[in-house]
Structure 1
């Protein structure tokens, strides 16, 4: 293994000069720095990370705890976050817990064992010991896709309940009074619960009943989503609008509508949430809420770096924005059937 002494010998400088070239290159004369850099490149020298950590107190690494990367929006946010951090010299360590609390806690422990400088966590509901560990180690962190009205946690995201209120109000404005909802996995996803509450809020305000049998939770899987959509479409209380918790479930529902010969939006309006890329590609194009994962990634990077560098102010630790309603072809006004 190549060491500092070998680099110093090849460059014709001292070991201290090599260390300075790595930690404070601006202090060296350009000609000296060039010789050291050429020696490092020639020998493929890799500095010992532990020594750098001892000198600076930082590992220049950020941990990410995600439920999964099978969700396109999570993947895009993580990609954006990684790009932002990489430009600042940080390395990202990614972990996924797949909605398992014990795995999530283990991910947090392992990241802290690696002495990451900060942690970004997707979601607002987590194993309670995750926060205990983070606070004990005094590591900066940010919750992505989360809001915190009490200011207990640094957050980046939007109000899911409010966002779904806007979407539901749009459908009510189109004349819809018979609704079905595919809310996703209510038992493991807090955002699913929040979005369903947003739907209920608006319907209640307009005196519209949401039938219990037309609220069908499913995992994020094609066949269960299609089966739930089929149950709604063949119900005696046939809905005119089908609200889906995200675009993935909405696309599965549209596929089932086609299989049953139902026209969208003539027979039923279908909406999603997130504005996945497929929302613009499917026919008809999907009316949805734009989640903006790129913005979430950018704001998370800014938030966590401000904490690490000590420039963050408490009142600025909660970054919140409103998703945009994207009106496309899959939702339309209810057809008024003339009396015979």
Structure 2
């Protein structure tokens, strides 16, 4: 036998018909197993799956895309995958998209609007069918690029549509106002805030605004030196707490705009000999898994990251299919009260005004 012919036969791409012959089923059955396995009888599904494995069959996505005019891919651009809140959302997004037969491409912007725009351009050039973004602050050119590409887009972790881009998420300002009110009700009047507020992070800006508004309603004004701006790292949380307590040693409550900053602040408080919560109450925002495991466990706001990811996937799948979709979806958050907060110790604070009751 001609070895070159044999080599060509070995390297020939396995087709769906080859799988069908191997499993002794029709090509239509193989197609159903690949696209809708839930409607195929288990015994047939198992036969086809074994044949696929034995033949090392893979679907020709490029050919399918040319035939349908769609790549069945979704692009997601997140600020960073270094924060659990985004990693959890991306995982849920990918799982739901996979159920619908879509592949997810992920990029990160590092909170840089220009980089976000570049990543979006790259994803669009790959022929994606939809886009998932984070937040409502984007470069002006981004909206024009999305409109020109003609692909559905949704932004996440915020609850208000901006610039014509639909949204799914929580009301960040309302959530942190509720948390701040909780601290006021405990008796705290000497506050500090640690916030990561780069221009592209409208979620943390909304949280900082919420802190200041809740305190203003109680007759408390934060001086500029009582608000420490930081990036999203543990190290920044530590240095911010050290700076805050150096400038304002009478502080009894520190509100952080992320759990990462709060966990860093708690580590620094321990190093400075400041007992949490007896001497200093510290709160976060996100409710990442570590928040419940540290000592003491962290009081925080729980953000439904997995639900946001699944909701974004459903939105895009429906939009691509031409199904009517809402412009904005507001999901519920939860105030999680744990052991990192307590009333200020006797003599450490004197209430100047009685906080107003708020319905959040």
TM-score by length of 2: 0.82
Partner of 1:128: 140
Indicate conservation of the 8 Å contact 1:292/1:323, yes or no.
Answer: yes
Note the alpha carbon deviations across 1:214-244, whole angstroms, 9 max, x for none. Answer: 1010112233321210122233452110001
Residues 1-340 of structure 1 correspond to what in structure 2 (within 5 A)?
1-3=11-13, 22=31, 43-148=55-160, 152-236=164-248, 238-313=250-325, 316-337=326-347
Indicate conservation of the 8 Å contact 2:250/2:348, yes or no.
Answer: no
Aligned to 1:229, the other structure's residue is in SS state helix
Aligned to 1:99, the other structure's residue is in SS state coil
Q: 1:300 to 1:188 in 2, by over 3 A?
A: closer
Whole-Å Cα distance in 1 between the matches of residues 220 and 35 of structure 2?
A: 68
**How far 1:250 sits from its partner (Å)?**
0.6
Indicate conservation of the 8 Å contact 2:78/2:134, yes or no.
Answer: yes
Q: 1:51 to 1:262 in 2, by over 3 A?
A: same
| Unmatched runs of 5 consecutive residues or more in structure 2 | 1-10, 350-360
Note the alpha carbon deviations across 1:299-337, whole angstroms, 9 max, x for none. Answer: 112211111111123xx2311123110011111112233
Whole-Å Cα distance in 2 between the matches of residues 130 and 62 of structure 1?
A: 17
Note the alpha carbon deviations across 1:103-150, whole angstroms, 9 max, x for none. Answer: 211211121122111111122212222221221121111101122256
Aligned Cα RMSD in Å?
3.0
Aligned pairs, how many? Answer: 329
Whole-Å Cα distance in 2 between the matches of residues 98 and 10 of structure 1?
A: 44
Indicate conservation of the 8 Å contact 1:124/1:145, yes or no.
Answer: no
Q: 1:150 to 1:50 in 2, by over 3 A?
A: closer
Note the alpha carbon deviations across 1:179-204, whole angstroms, 9 max, x for none. Answer: 00001244442222111100011111
111-120 vs 193-202, which moves further: 111-120
Q: 1:261 to 1:22 in 2, by over 3 A?
A: same
Whole-Å Cα distance in 2 between the matches of residues 324 and 35 of structure 1?
A: 47
**How far 1:159 sits from its partner (Å)?**
1.3
Q: 1:22 to 1:225 in 2, by over 3 A?
A: same
**How far 1:245 sits from its partner (Å)?**
1.0
Partner of 2:353: none
Whole-Å Cα distance in 2 between the matches of residues 160 and 39 of structure 1?
A: 50
Aligned to 2:75, the other structure's residue is in SS state strand
Indicate conservation of the 8 Å contact 1:180/1:215, yes or no.
Answer: yes
Whole-Å Cα distance in 1 between the matches of residues 222 and 296 of structure 2?
A: 26
Note the alpha carbon deviations across 1:261-320, whole angstroms, 9 max, x for none. Answer: 11111111110001011111111111100012111112112211111111123xx23111
100-109 vs 63-72, which moves further: 100-109
Q: 1:20 to 1:57 in 2, by over 3 A?
A: farther
**How far 1:47 sits from its partner (Å)?**
4.0
Whole-Å Cα distance in 1 between the matches of residues 291 and 229 of structure 2?
A: 21
| Unmatched runs of 5 consecutive residues or more in structure 1 | none
